[in-house]
Homo-oligomer: A and B are copies of this chain.
Amino acid sequence: MVSTTQSVDRQSCAAADARDDLMHFKDRFDLPSDVIYLDGNSLGALPVGALERAQEVITAEWGNGLIRSWNTAGWFDLPRRLGDKLGRLIGARAGETVVTDSTSLNLFKTIAAGIRMQQVDHPVRRVILTERDNFPTDIYVAQGISDFLNSTLDDTGNRYEVRLLDDELPLEDALDESVAVVALSHANYRTGSLWDMAEVTAMAHERGAVVIWDLCHSAGAVPIDLTAAGADFAIGCTYKYLNGGPGSPAFIWVNPRHQERFWQPLSGWWGHADPFAMADAYAPAEGISRFLCGTQPITSMAMIEPGLDMFLEADMSRLRAKSLELTDLFIELVEQRCGDHPLELITPRDHDRRGSHVSFRHPDGYPVMNALIARGVIGDYREPEVLRFGITPLYLSRTDIWDAVEALRDVLDSCAWDTAEFKKRHAVT
């Protein structure tokens, strides 16, 4: 570990890397040599095994096996088989998770299932509670459901509503007897700040709401135990920390206590109890399979496995320790070496509240990030004014962190701060 009390330099970073027995994982990614990649929280890097897996699916399974591969290559069981592997990273038992569809669609399924449960148990609850600072698609999906259900209601008395937490409306106040479903992102996409999953779940249950956790920015980033937290539903993507590839299918977890109660309204053939009987009435499959819908993109799905296998091999608690060390180091170095510049840390310093990315506000965040990317240090920019850096312990080293901060310092130092002057020097249009 690089000491954060002594003075850090590139040499001490390299020395700590040399002692790090997770470093060999970096060789199992195919990363461009001229890039320091700090955007694995948006699209993870390419595991070496993924190309090989895709070639196998395309030539042997599709090309040669053709239709037979639904059985012989295990396509039909792929969502469940990958779901079981992924489940081990989020505190799920076998048979509780499937990989399928997109995060937005899986959120639709879980909100709809949560609403159905409440319709039976507490029909007056018609509020979907989420937060203004949630990843926007989560809010849009909640609005889509609410809008669709309201469109059929004749009365004006009790309509569905999306309620947004913000500075004026904290969770404590928002969670009243009208809330049906609480849908929150475990790690905030902008700040990296974590909700306390067990605490929020307990509070929501006490007040009669069901809870959906969006794990997009925390699966593969922090240890998660959905079972211990007693959560109701969880969804998330596989292409960020889990390195599944661009747009690889998402996942969905449903607590077994709810799985058999209802089916979700996106009821397609893959969620049917007996899909090849060609019955003319939907009969939901047992358990988590009823959260499947239509045919899945097999090549994109199969490529998720090499990334998952690395996580299972590396152990999430060791990755978490390294993630915290690297995010601590990044914060410390930025504050030490870029301290003259108007950077404001918006990621929690408290380890218990921090995911695996670090964000700073800067009044010229957008051109600063563009200049940094042009130098091969790839983070990203998020409105408003946020420089966001994903810290992925599987393929980042302490020297990467050192070099990234040096590049940031060079970019920031390249002019006495003047936005117009900066944009001119860096040719930002």
Contacts and interface: CB of A to CB of B under 8 A. Distances in A.
Interface string A125-165: 00000001000110111011101110111110000100010
Contacts of A31: 63
A269 B140 contact: yes
A239 B295 contact: yes
12 contacts: A46-B63, A51-B58, A58-B245, A58-B303, A67-B380, A104-B268, A105-B105, A140-B269, A148-B265, A149-B152, A245-B298, A277-B383
A39 B66 contact: yes
A396 to B, nearest CB: 14
Contacts of A140: 267-269, 271-272, 282
A281 B276 CA distance: 41
Contact size class for A?
35 or more
A75 interface: yes
Interface string A53-80: 0110111011110111110000100000
Interface string A102-116: 111100100010011
A32 B102 contact: no
Interface stretch (A223-231, A246-254, A320-328): A246-254
A144 B55 contact: no
A400 interface: no
B281 A108 contact: no
Contacts of A153: 152-153
A294 B246 CA distance: 12
Interface of A: 30-32, 35, 37, 39, 42-43, 45-46, 50-51, 54-55, 57-59, 61-64, 66-70, 75, 101-105, 108, 112, 115-116, 119, 132, 136-137, 139-141, 143-145, 147-149, 151-155, 160, 164, 237, 239, 245-250, 263-269, 271-272, 275-282, 293-301, 303, 373, 378, 380, 382-383
A46 B378 CA distance: 36
Given A140-B267, A141-B266, A268-B141, A62 B246 contact: yes
Which 8 A-B pairs have CB atoms at the shortest separation, nearest pair first? A102-B294, A104-B294, A297-B300, A104-B268, A144-B267, A148-B265, A246-B298, A46-B63
Contact of A45 (B37, B66, B132, B299): B66
Given A282-B143, A299-B303, A300-B297, A246 B151 contact: no
B66 A55 contact: no
A63 B307 CA distance: 13
Contacts of A143: 267, 281-282
Given A55-B51, A145-B265, A151 B67 contact: no
Contacts of A303: 58, 299
